[in-house]
Amino acid sequence: MKRVLKPRAAFIFFRLEHLKELLIVLDELDLSFINHLVWKYQFGLVTTRKYVTSHYHILFVGVDERKRKFFPYARYEKDEKLPEGGSAHYKDKEDVWTIPREYWTGDVKTPTKLPAEIIRKILAYSSEPGDIVLDPFLGSGQVAVVSKMEGRRFTGFEVVPDYFQFATKRLESGSYRLKAE
């Protein structure tokens, strides 16, 4: 990734148990740590002997800090207020993101996928229309599909042929969700 990425930014989604290895790799590759973001979601799995897992980790890292771009008012104007008061862009840029998972009842079930809103948010703050977005683990093609919707170009890899075909079908059909046959 370091070799192919432009000096913009990278986002790594990970499980906590991989944190140690990830931090070592970032250090070895001289990638700079910018933010640790927490994606808060609802899971609905009741636990009786431990706390309920309801968040996921995202590392925001930079390839070249001097050249990195960030678009702080990409989603809200500088003086825009929230209905309940307070700065809208400040709230949007806090490092805990509460975004529900997407359940596609009645449609083709997909391999694990990120909610479109997370990808939209990342694209808005860290890329411009026409940029190329790389997802090395495409799954259902969610990052590519949302990148296309947001006017970005995309590329990526997927090792499971069925998933790759599913992602390709979504991209070619122009439909976000595909009806189950």
Ligand X SMILES: C[S@@+](CC[C@H](N)C(=O)[O-])C[C@H]1O[C@@H](n2cnc3c(N)ncnc32)[C@H](O)[C@@H]1O
The least CB distance from residue 39 to ligand X, in Å, is 12
Contact flag: residue 159 with ligand X (CB under 6 A): yes
Nearer to ligand X, 76 or 152 (CB): 152
b/e 132-153 (16+ beta carbons within 10 angstroms → b) = ebbbeebbbbbbbbbbbebebe
Contact flag: residue 163 with ligand X (CB under 6 A): yes
Tokens of 71: 């678009």
d(CA 37, CA 141): 22
User: Which residue of this chain has its Cβ atom nearest to ligand X in the complex?
Assistant: 139
Query: What residues numbered 100-139 form the site for ligand X, per CB under 6 A?
Result: 111-114, 135, 137-139
Q: How many binding residues for ligand X (CB under 6 A)?
A: 16
The least CB distance from residue 156 to ligand X, in Å, is 8
Task: Give CA separation, 123 vs 44, 82, 93, 102, in Å.
Answer: 28, 22, 13, 19
Contact flag: residue 45 with ligand X (CB under 6 A): no
d(CA 41, CA 56): 8
Q: What residues make contact with ligand X under the rule CB under 6 A?
A: 111-114, 135, 137-140, 142-143, 157-160, 163
